[in-house]
């Protein structure tokens, strides 16, 4: 598939690379339309299937990660389009199926669907100019890609209600204090920081990395006992991997592990 609304690239050693997807509709502040979302799903799936890729970064421009779903397109749609034809809403949940870690490197606006997209990623590193919000209420709608579900899980009910009901934006520091964002860095260090984290993840055994992601995501889908049992079984399963033998032998013998992702 050739892409018109995103850019893809890789960084790192050939054997273990980081896949980078950059949203690229700068004139519309990376507003998310169906074509962009189709391209994004396709690029993420291709990186997920590529054995040389260990981690994925999703980013935008300095001014905008994404200023939301494309309001110009949505303004044309009625119920028969969005419900009947799945316009705007198609493809979003596929991002959840990506099994390798996806880091959101966010600068500028992450609003509406843009904020929801960051929350579908596994963690968010924000530049100090990042602004997060769910301003859909100003358009006569509500968030439609998980904002009313993932935001309260990330920041608690009170702040989620505040953001969704007033439509105000929160800056990067408030987002970090609230637990939405894992780290805030100066804008010019954003990609270095995200790449550093991604390359570190690439250096570990892929099976353990995928299991950690799957198990943490399970915490949001299950009760505590079921979640702990799910974790326990994955923990047990990792003792069947070569990487567990390698990681522990390397520690005991004071050498660097060479994981084979088996």
Specify the residue, 90 or 183, whose C-beta has the smaller distance to ligand CO8.
Answer: 90
Sign of CA dihedral 184, 185, 187, 191: negative
Could you tell me which stretch among 11-19, 135-143, 204-212, 235-243 binds ligand CO8 (CB under 6 A)?
135-143
Q: Where are the alpha helices (DSSP H) in 144-185?
A: 147-155, 157-166, 172-178
Single out the catalytic residue among 31, 66, 69, 130.
69
User: How many binding residues for ligand CO8 (CB under 6 A)?
Assistant: 22
Between residues 21 and 198, which has the closer beta carbon with respect to ligand CO8? 21
Return the number of the residue (145 or 202) whose C-beta is nearest ligand CO8.
145
Give the closest residue to 65 by CA, choosing from 39, 26, 94, 93. Answer: 26
Map the footprint of ligand CO8 across residues 14-33, applying CB under 6 A: 28-29, 31
Q: How far is the CB of 37 from ligand CO8 (least distance, A)?
A: 8
67 binds ligand CO8 (CB under 6 A): yes
Q: Is 186 exposed, middle or buried (0-12, 13-18, 19+ CB in 10 A)?
A: exposed
Compute φ and ψ for 184, nearest 5 degrees: -120, 130
Q: What backbone torsions phi and psi does residue 244 show, to the nearest 5 degrees? A: -65, -45
Q: Which is nearer to ligand CO8, 83 or 220 (CB)?
A: 83
Rounded distance between C-alpha atoms, residue 121 and residue 95, angstroms: 8
Q: Is 214 a catalytic residue?
A: no
Task: Give strand pairing partners of 8.
Answer: 21
Residue list 144-173, contact with ligand CO8 (CB under 6 A): 144-145
Minimum distance between the CB of residue 237 and ligand CO8, rounded to whole angstroms? 33
Compute the distance between CA of residue 105 and CA of residue 126 in angstroms, rounded to an integer. 6
Q: How far is the CB of 230 from ligand CO8 (least distance, A)?
A: 27
Q: Are the C-beta atoms of 208 and 237 separated by less than 8 Å?
A: no
Decide: is 107 part of the binding site for ligand CO8 (CB under 6 A). no
Q: Which residue among the candidates 19, 108, 116, 147 is catalytic per the annotation?
A: 116
Mapping DSSP to helix (H, G, I), strand (E, B) and coil, where does residue 141 land?
coil
Site membership for ligand CO8, residue 60 (CB under 6 A) = no
Cβ atoms of residues 148 and 160 within 8 Å: yes
Is 136 one of the annotated active-site residues of the chain? yes
What residue ranges bind ligand CO8 (CB under 6 A)? 28-29, 31, 67-72, 88-89, 92, 109, 111-113, 135-136, 139, 143-145
């Amino acid at each position: 598939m050739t892409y018109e609304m995103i850019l893809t690239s890789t960084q790192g050693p050939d054997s273990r690379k980081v896949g980078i997807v950059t949203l690229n509709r700068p004139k519309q502040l990376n507003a998310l339309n169906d074509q962009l979302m189709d391209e994004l799903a396709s690029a993420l799936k291709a990186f997920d299937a590529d054995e040389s890729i260990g981690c994925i970064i999703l980013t935008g421009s300095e001014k905008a990660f994404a200023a939301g779903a494309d309001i110009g397109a949505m303004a044309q749609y009625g119920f028969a389009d969005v419900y009947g034809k799945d316009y705007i809403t198609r493809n979003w949940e596929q991002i959840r199926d990506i099994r390798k870690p996806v880091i959101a490197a966010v600068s500028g606006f992450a609003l509406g669907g843009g904020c929801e997209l960051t929350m579908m990623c596994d963690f968010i590193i924000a530049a100090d100019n990042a602004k997060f919000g769910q301003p859909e209420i100003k358009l006569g709608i509500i968030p439609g890609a998980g904002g009313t579900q993932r935001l309260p899980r990330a920041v608690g009910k009170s702040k989620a209600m505040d953001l969704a009901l007033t439509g105000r934006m929160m800056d990067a520091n408030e987002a970090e204090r609230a637990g939405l964002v894992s780290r805030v860095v100066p804008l010019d260090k954003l990609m270095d920081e995200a790449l550093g984290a991604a390359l570190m993840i690439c250096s570990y055994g892929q099976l353990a990395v995928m299991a950690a992601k799957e198990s943490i995501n399970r915490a949001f889908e299950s009760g505590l006992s079921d979640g702990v049992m799910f974790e326990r079984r994955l923990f047990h399963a990792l003792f069947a991997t070569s990487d567990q033998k390698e990681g522990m032998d390397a520690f005991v013998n004071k050498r660097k592990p060479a994981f084979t992702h088996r």
